[in-house]
Every structure is written in C-alpha cells, then in structure tokens.
C-alpha cells in the first residue's frame, strides 16, 4: 500500500507539482515553505491550532450512518460530517492553520480566492477572529449564483472583488488573487483554498486537512470493530476535502474514489500541463490553452486538479470517475429525502457516484466525506427544481 508522500526538495509528487511562478514570487514561496516547516514542527503552534479546531471550529466532526439510504442502496453508508464545522464546510481547517501562520510570519493581510464562497467565508471568518485584513476574489458568475456567501463575507468584514476576466469563475479568481499577492507580497499572505498552486501549498493544505482522515479512520475502526471501510469517496475540484479524507486510508485496503464533474474532469480528460504555479492534470486544447470547466457547483468549476491527486491517479492508488449535472441533482435530493441532510452541490457529486456504483458494491461499507452543507445552494436548486 502507498503512504502519503512528502514532496521532494523540488516540491513534486512524482512528476507533478513544482513551483512555476514569476521570479518575484520565488522568495515568497521559499519563505512560506520555511515558515510552515518550522510551525508544523513547533508543538506550541500545533497546540494552538488544535485548540482552535476544537473550541472554535467544533472538531472532531461526527460520523453519521445513513441507515435509510444505505438500506435503499444495499450498502452501509457513513458520512464524515464536515458540514457541521463552523462556517459549514471543511475549509475552516485549512484557513485557521494558514491565518495562524500568516500572523506568525508578521503578515497583516490575507488574500483568498473562492468558487462557491465556502473558502472565502472561512478566510473572512479566520481573519475576523485573528485581526487580519481580508480581500476575497470571486468570479463574477459565481457571485451571482452564491449571493448568500458574498453577503456573509462582507458581513465578516472582508472585501469581495469580482473577477471579470475569462470565464469569470474560480480559475479567474485564482489569477486575480495571485496578481494581488505579487504586488503586495511584503505585507500579504495568499490563503490558497485547495491542494493546488506552487509548492508548498499542495503539501501544506493537505497537512492542515489530514485531521479529517485521521479522525475518520479512528471513528470507523471504533464502529466497525477495528476494520476500515471498503470504499472512501469524496468530490474533487482542486481536491482538498478528498486528499484530507484519503490521507487517513491511503495505507489501507480501501478503494479511494475522487468524483469529478463531467464538465471539469481534469484527471479523466486532462493531460499534464502547468497552471497556477503547478504541473498537474489539466483540461487543455491541442495548442495547450486552458479549457473552460463547467459544473453545476461553483466549487468544482476548475480545469485542473491538485498535483497529489494526479500522482495518486498515475500510480493507480485512487480512481477519478465523473458524474453529470443531472446525476448530481438526483444525489442532492436523494440525501435530503432519505436522511434529512441537505448536502452542498459539491458533495452531491460523491453521492451521485455512490448511487450509480451501488449495484457493484452490495454489502460493502462506504465512507463519504460530506464536506459542506447545502444552505448556500438552496436558492440555486429552487430555481432548477422549480423549472423541472
């Protein structure tokens, strides 16, 4: 079995990762790598972070067995309830870590990108808690479909700036955030929201999210009499919630399934390329131009994927199927109807795959990371289901 990799000195997982950034950002990436390494090895930093995760974010998040849906599908289905964290998703784990790190580095300001708004809300929350200035870049299209989260960010004191270039979605918000960071690097930390970007971000963000997998493994073994689940499933855009839960089961027999949107299947349809400072699987045309991604969920609207996911796919340790928007809508309503839990549209991708694959998994134990709650998507789904 594989184990979670520590990237080499060049910041790569196999051939993927690296540090493809302008010369002006090389010192900032090196400074961040040094600061994170020191902090992660500092017992006091880890203690402060764990204290915040427990007393502010609400960890450990619980494990819920879906008796009704499991019976309907012929499997035992467990949910890791990251939707119950403060701010409503797994994102708080990473931003608390990065905000503490920013303060440790003497930075007074953070910038962040966001798709569905959950990372932006979490970044604004951590900034308010720790007294940092916060600016969030969000695609203009995403601002329209996620009005509630935009209001929440502004209520928390963050400045929300629409990205008007390109497809005006997550990819373009990342571009704008990186431009801001280049111009203000002395005073600013870029609080990147997924396991992507230049080294050390993919590794650092994974380490901040390992708490998901570590907790889930212990909880599953307690419930299953020392056994691990047969299958571990999570949605994948950039891939932070998936790598977080995979990290607890990488060295077990469990199948690891990262579910992508059909319109943004970077692993399924992409080829290795460079975007946003990293080499990874990337949707691109024959000229190497980045193709636009599409997903019903703003949080998965990304043409690439984190380099560690690309590596896990290449070595055959994880699988990355895709699902359609129609399947996602069915998954969204299915969990609400059977279990009284409304999932984020991102997580409904994982549910859609579980429903599709259930006939081949009869009697198996399936663990799914419910990485966010669906409050933010209710207005969008009212419109979609109203039309149906």
Residue range 239-261, pLDDT digits in tens: 999 999 999 999 999 999 999 99
Only one residue has tokens 């984190």, namely 306
Which residues of the chain form CATH 3.40.50.1100?
12-52+91-201, 58-89+210-387
CATH architecture of 58-89+210-387: 3-Layer(aba) Sandwich (3.40)
| Helices and strands (DSSP H and E) totals, the chain | 15, 15
Beta bridge partners of 370: 81
Q: Average pLDDT for residues 361-378, to the nearest whole number?
A: 96
State the DSSP code for 97: H
Q: Give the pLDDT confidence score for residue 324 in this predicted structure.
A: 97
Q: Which fold has domain 12-52+91-201?
A: Rossmann fold (3.40.50)
CA-CA distance, 351 to 169, in Å (whole number)? Answer: 24
Model pLDDT for residues 307-318, shown as the tens digit of each residue = 999 999 999 999
Tokens matching residue 236 = 């994948």
- Taking all residues of the chain, what is their mean pLDDT, rounded to a whole number? 95
pLDDT recorded at residue 285: 87
List all residues 6 or more positions away from 369 whose beta carbon is below 8 Å from its beta carbon: 79, 80, 82, 90, 212, 216, 232, 233, 234, 235, 241, 242, 244, 245, 347, 350
Nearest to 93 by CA among 252, 254, 211: 211
Q: In the chain, pLDDT over 90 holds for what percent of residues?
A: 86
Give the tens place of pLDDT for each residue, 1-29: 567 788 988 999 999 999 999 998 999 99
The β-bridge partners of 27 are none
Interatomic CA distance for residues 237 and 113, integer angstroms:
14
Distance of alpha carbon 383 from alpha carbon 388, whole angstroms: 9
Query: pLDDT by residue (tens digit) across 129-168?
Result: 999 999 999 999 999 888 989 999 999 999 999 999 888 8
Q: What is the largest CA-CA distance in the chain?
A: 56
CA 318 to chain centre: 16
**Residues annotated catalytic, as ranges:** 66, 90
Give the torsion sign (CA, 3, 312, 169, 336).
negative
pLDDT at 326: 97
């Amino acid at each position: 079995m594989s184990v979670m990799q520590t990237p080499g000195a060049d910041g790569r997982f196999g051939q993927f990762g690296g540090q493809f950034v302008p010369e002006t950002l090389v010192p900032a990436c090196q400074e961040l790598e040094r600061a994170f390494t020191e902090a992660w090895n500092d017992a006091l930093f880890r203690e402060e972070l764990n204290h915040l995760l427990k007393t502010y974010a609400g960890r450990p998040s619980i494990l819920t067995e879906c008796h009704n849906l499991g019976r309907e599908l012929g499997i035992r289905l467990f949910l890791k309830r990251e939707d119950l964290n403060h701010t409503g998703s797994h994102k708080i784990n990473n931003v608390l870590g990065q905000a503490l790190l920013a303060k440790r580095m003497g930075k007074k300001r953070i910038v962040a990108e966001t798709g569905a708004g959950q990372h932006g809300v979490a970044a604004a929350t951590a900034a308010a808690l720790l007294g940092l200035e916060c600016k969030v870049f969000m695609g203009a299209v995403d601002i329209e479909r996620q009005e509630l989260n935009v209001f929440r960010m502004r209520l928390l004191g963050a400045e929300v700036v629409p990205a008007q270039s390109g497809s005006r979605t997550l990819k373009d918000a990342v571009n704008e955030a990186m431009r801001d960071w280049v111009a203000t690097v002395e005073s600013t930390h870029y609080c990147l929201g997924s396991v992507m970007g230049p080294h050390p971000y993919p590794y650092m963000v994974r380490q901040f999210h390992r708490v998901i997998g570590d907790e889930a493994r212990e909880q599953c073994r307690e419930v299953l009499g020392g056994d691990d689940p047969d299958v571990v499933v999570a949605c994948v855009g950039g891939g932070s919630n998936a790598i977080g839960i995979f990290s607890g089961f990488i060295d077990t027999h469990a199948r690891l399934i990262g579910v992508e949107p059909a319109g943004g299947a970077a692993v399924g349809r992409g080829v290795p390329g460079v975007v946003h400072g990293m080499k990874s699987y990337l949707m691109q045309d024959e000229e190497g131009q980045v193709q636009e991604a599409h997903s019903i969920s703003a949080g998965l609207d990304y043409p690439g994927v984190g380099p560690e996911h690309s590596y896990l796919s290449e070595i055959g340790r994880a699988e990355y199927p895709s699902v359609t928007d129609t399947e996602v809508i069915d998954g969204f309503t299915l969990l609400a109807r059977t279990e009284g839990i409304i999932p984020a549209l991102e997580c409904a991708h994982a549910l859609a795959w579980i429903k599709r694959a259930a006939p081949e998994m009869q009697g198996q134990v399936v663990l799914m990371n419910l990485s966010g709650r669906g409050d933010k998507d209710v207005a969008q789904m009212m419109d979609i289901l109203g039309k149906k």
